[in-house]
Amino acid sequence: MKYIALLIFCLSCFFCNAQKQTDYVISLNGDWKFHVIDGQGSNPLNVVEESSDIIIDNRNTNQVEIKGNWKLKTEGARGSAVYQKDFIERNFSGKETEANYVRFFPKFKKSGYYEAFVMMPFGTHLTAQVNVKQGNLKETAYLNQRVRCGQWISLGIFNFDSTQENYVELTAITEGSVTADAVLFKCISETAYLKAKNEPKQVFLTNYNDSNWFNLKVPGHWGMLNSYSNYVGKAWYRKTFDLPKDWKKNANDKIRLQFAAVYHLSNVYVNGQFVGKNQGGFTPFEFDITDKLYFDKPNLIAVEVDNNFLVGATWNWGGIIREVQLVKNQSVRIQNQYMNASPDLKTGTADLNLKVFVENNSSISKSVAIQSVISYKKKLITLTAKATIAPNVTQEVVLNGKLNAKQVQLWHFDNPVLYHLNTNLSIDKMVVDTKTNPFGIRKIEINASQMLLNGEPVRLGGFNRVSEHRYWGSSEPIELLVKDIHLMKEAGANFMRIMHGTQNEKLIQLCDEKGILIFEEVNVRDLTNPEFDAPKYTLPRQWIKGMIERDWNHPSIIGWSVGNELSDHNQYARDMMKLVRELDPNRLVTCVSNTGQKASYTPENDPNSDVDMIMHNMYAWQGKPLEILATLRKKWPNKPIFLSEYGFDPFPTASLDNDRAEVTDWHNNFRGKNDFVIGASLWTFNDYRSGYAATSAEENRVWGVVNVWRQKRRLFDRLKHENSPLNTIEVTDIDFDKKSAQVKLVVKGPKDYPSFSLRNYQLVWRFKDNLGRILFENRKSLPLITPSQGEWKGTIKWKGNLTNAQNVTIEVVNSLGYSRADKVFDFTVPNSPVIKQIISGDGKARILFDSVSGATEYGASYENEKGEVVVLPTKTIANYIDLEGLENNKSYLVSVFSFNQKGKSFDSKKERVTPNGKLLPPVIWDAFIRDKKIVIGYSSENEDNLYEVHYGRTPTNLDKNFTTNVRGMLSIEIDDNSIMYFKIRRKTKDRESNWSELKLVNSKTY
């Protein structure tokens, strides 16, 4: 925690320094007003079927018209729910039109106002077309049929004339399977209809009353509000603010409204006037609002946000997900700057090529002077230039320089040295703008079978991190980013493809500082996306440009990807990679593929022929890994391969005990062989929320090294070992009399995985007693250890009498303090755990206990009324164990015990439990207080309907109640951030569980 807190402080200082300019900056983060207008979206959890609803199932043949060959099916793919008994499905080819369709015709007894809904099981189509016809009007929407399956999805509210033809139609104009199941029409009042139609014309006006709107924090997302946890559609934000008194209207000043990211579509209004829109949820955008602002009275910003188009298996966290600010500067400013630092590995020098983009928004030419100071710990050199900038243009000014060998330190994942670039823009010797960026000096080279970092061949491992958290969503506060980088580095991450979409820039900065090589990728996952205007692809071009120009100074980024798992994408990928090379000729470029192994994809029609490095997503459904790799290599013998994704089916539960022994088997496909595989990234580092079919009851995709609350699974330690540059740590000749032992480090060879040199590493040894207290700790610097060396041997020594030590840990750490390998040697068995509480269930019981120092896992046993003892066959790393197979109303004596290398502890004191027929409560994964909210993460079951929480200030007075139907995470508003106590239970249609354990919750650093 101290490490994380210090790192957050340092980062906050950096980001503050990065903003030190002659610009004036006002943060608009914090509380905004939030509101949803009826008919502009829906939360399926809140759609309840009522007797007054009109529901048409696909079997209602007198109200359903089917055109084309649709097949009747009874089971939804991937376990998706089906309304009543069956549904129909059609596989559309790319040459078909909407002439093949299913139409649902409502029989309205009278004209009126209705909200229309559609329900469908899983279909492969990402852009199924839904048309709602009301008389002579037709409205079209597009649905991703891989998400929100088996739920009522709102199509909007409509005024239906019963004398005219009305229907809801499902069809497609691109290839993929489309399912049609049922539609629902819910009657609404004329008052509600008129309000819903008129409100969008009023909510952005300054005189609109928003006093009854929700308060919602920015950055954030609307899923933080229980009522909108599953909401998809349009929503509105409003914020009122005053300009500082010293801001005066000036013809030479420009004031810009800057959004770091809004997901996914946004329309922005200032003081009732439309100022612009943005499409794309991860890249920054800005508007010049100088002429829209009031300098003498309050100003209003209103933003319409739409997360409706679901592009993939991850959750669309709707909202203003990143920072908002006002920036005031003069009419001439530094729009951007790009530093390319190229080292000469022979001489040790580095050439600096700096491009400064100067924007002149005035109506006359401006003569400017540019001064750029390069520093590392101290000022090193200054680059200068002069230029005349024509009116209303942005002009590129180039500055060149050179660092001598003494001034150059190379950026490396184990030595991430950051230089700082500070550029001043002056007019008539007065500084009018300043821009600061970090950068690194490093050399990435690619040949047919290798990636070289600063001249050294490396094979590296990493992860795909999904950019979200179960509470913060994709708004990701700095403390979460710090936590994740720390965890990924601890698990051996050095190189990775960091998921689809432009990432939070603070995450990229952390990768700069902590040493992770990354490919950043534009959020393009399906070329049939109706947002895209093929073959121009205006939006992808805009997103690529925004991503690259924001992040091109970060040394951690060694390449760009123009898309993920696309089909028929040869021309698109080649065009976009050409654009990337024009924008940034100094980094690698690729397009992540999962089709290169197919016979239909050849060097002539596959963009793998044009990439710098093949990035392939490899899963078992494609075939045997060795055959896939051989096929790719045969087609493209001059291209190294990075496995940008590899993974397995989701875990069956969210248990922390989940592991993947198959990981080792997959790595063996390129250990000592297939050395053209230069690295691999596991899918995924973290569990993540998803509306995809086959998602868990908690709405999470469960296959991460850590869960959505960042708790480690068994898989974590496996990956740490797999990603280590060492095969083993051996300790022999432990002599407590001589107070010494021999240590041997067995290093992975040049063709092993991963493979890289250990430079400036240390060996750490640490003795602890059975309470976890450190008895002795020391360290020694290791020499340079290369993969070809094979091993290193040395002696460790200690002081004092350590015969009471429970264990010694031998650890190899890099210069940043991250463990690259460790091994624990136990001398005694661990202490026995202490049972804290036992909760009864229906033929089950949950034992909760405190973990003990030195234990690696825990087990349990129970004794029945006959005196028979049953030892559970499974063990856990969690602090609870669920006993199953018990009989209700019978008494059992239960105990728990712990394990380490030396064996099993004594059994704990036995406690009695009698299963009572009630359900077990949810497992509480995590709980904390933030922004005057209790946040609780808990397990869910498919049968659950409601979750009830009792909470209060003292453990004996839980005087407040809260109930919700939200799965996996809830938040409760409270008066302040003081500590609270709570317990939770779940309710099904006809049953309720026992209460969970009582939990203390407080405000904590995550």
Strand partners for 128 = 143
Structure token digits, residue 382: 């200054």
Q: 204-240 pLDDT, tens per residue?
A: 999 999 999 999 999 999 999 999 999 999 999 999 9
Beta bridge partners of 621: none
Are 447 and 675 within 8 A, CB to CB?
no
Angle 629-630-633 (CA atoms, 0-180°, nearest 5)?
85
With both helix axes pointing from N to C terminus, report the angle between 538-551 and 505-514 in degrees, rounded to the nearest 10.
40
Of 36, 30, 29, 31, the closest CA to residue 215 belongs to 31
- Backbone torsion region of residue 210, taken as left when φ is above 0, otherwise alpha when ψ lies between -120 and 50, otherwise beta: alpha
Mean pLDDT across 389-411:
97
**Per-residue pLDDT tens over the stretch 369-387:** 999 999 999 999 999 999 9
Residue 897: band (very low, low, confident or very high) from pLDDT cuts 50, 70, 90: very high
pLDDT(557) > 70? yes
**Residue in the structure block whose two tokens are 């908690």:** 698
The maximal CA–CA distance of the chain, rounded, in angstroms, is 99
Say whether pLDDT at 559 is over 80.
yes
Provide CB contacts within 8 A for 668, sequence distance 6+. Answer: none
Cβ atoms of 977 and 1003 closer than 8 Å: yes
| Mean pLDDT on 908-923 | 96
pLDDT above 70 (res 12): no
Is the pLDDT confidence value at 437 over 90?
yes
Contact 623, 593 (CB under 8 A): no
Neighbours of 459 (CB within 10 A): 27
User: Which pLDDT does position 251 carry in this prediction?
Assistant: 83
Given a cut of 60, whether residue 582 has pLDDT beyond it is yes
- Between CA 378 and CA 384, with CA 380 as vertex, the angle to 5 degrees is 130
Sign of the CA dihedral running 871, 874, 880, 882: negative
For position 98, what pLDDT does the model report? 76
Predicted local distance difference test score (pLDDT) of residue 970: 97
What's the confidence (pLDDT) of residue 18? 40
- 105/166 Cα distance (integer angstroms): 6
Query: At residue 977, does pLDDT exceed 90?
Result: no
Q: What is the pLDDT of residue 3?
A: 45
CB 317 within 8 A of CB 296: no
DSSP per residue over 264-322, as a string? SEEEEEETTEEEEEEE-SSS-EEEE-GGG--SSS-EEEEEEEE-----SSS----B--S
Those residues with Cβ within 8 angstroms of residue 627's Cβ, 6 or more apart along the chain or in another chain: 597
Per-residue pLDDT reduced to its tens digit, 630-670: 999 999 999 999 999 999 989 999 999 999 999 999 999 99
Phi, psi of 315 (to 5 degrees): -80, 140
Report the C-alpha gap between 640 and 223 in whole angstroms.
42
More confident residue, 136 or 971: 971
In this structure, how many other beta carbons lie within 10 angstroms of the beta carbon of residue 124? 16
Q: How large is the average pLDDT for residues 856-885?
A: 95
Question: Is a pLDDT exceeding 70 seen at residue 9?
Answer: no
Give the pLDDT of residue 19: 38
Q: How far apart are the first and last CA of the chain?
A: 9
At 2 the pLDDT is: 47
Average pLDDT, the chain: 94
Smallest CA-to-CA distance from 383 within 399, 367, 396 is with: 399
The owner of tokens 């007894």 is 109
pLDDT at residue 947 is higher than 80: yes
Strands of the sheet with 101-104, listed across from one edge: 64-67, 101-104, 166-171, 128-134, 137-143
Q: From its phi and psi, is residue 667 left (phi > 0), alpha (psi between -120 and 50) or beta?
A: alpha
pLDDT number for residue 526: 86
Predicted confidence at residue 13, as pLDDT, reads 46
Per-residue model confidence (pLDDT) at position 1005 = 64
Q: What is the residue-wise DSSP string for 84-126?
A: TT-EEEEEE-TT--TTSEEEE----SS-EEEEEEEE----S-S
Q: Give the burial class of 594: count Cβ atoms within 10 A of its Cβ; 0-12 exposed, 13-18 middle, 19 or more buried.
A: buried
Using 50, 70 and 90 to split pLDDT, how confident is the model at 325? very high
Instruction: Tell the residue number behind the tokens 């053209």, with chain if given.
Output: 676
| CA atoms of 256 and 286, how far apart (whole Å) | 6
CA distances from 465 to 7, 518, 520 (A): 20, 11, 11
Beta-carbon contacts of 678 under 8 Å, excluding residues fewer than 6 positions away, are: 449, 450, 451, 458, 459, 460, 613, 640, 641, 642
Looking at the chain, the number of H-run helices and the number of E-run strands are 9, 65
Mean pLDDT of 179-200: 96
The residue among 85, 114, 745, 754 whose CA lies nearest residue 458 is: 754
Confidence of residue 17 (pLDDT cuts 50, 70, 90): very low
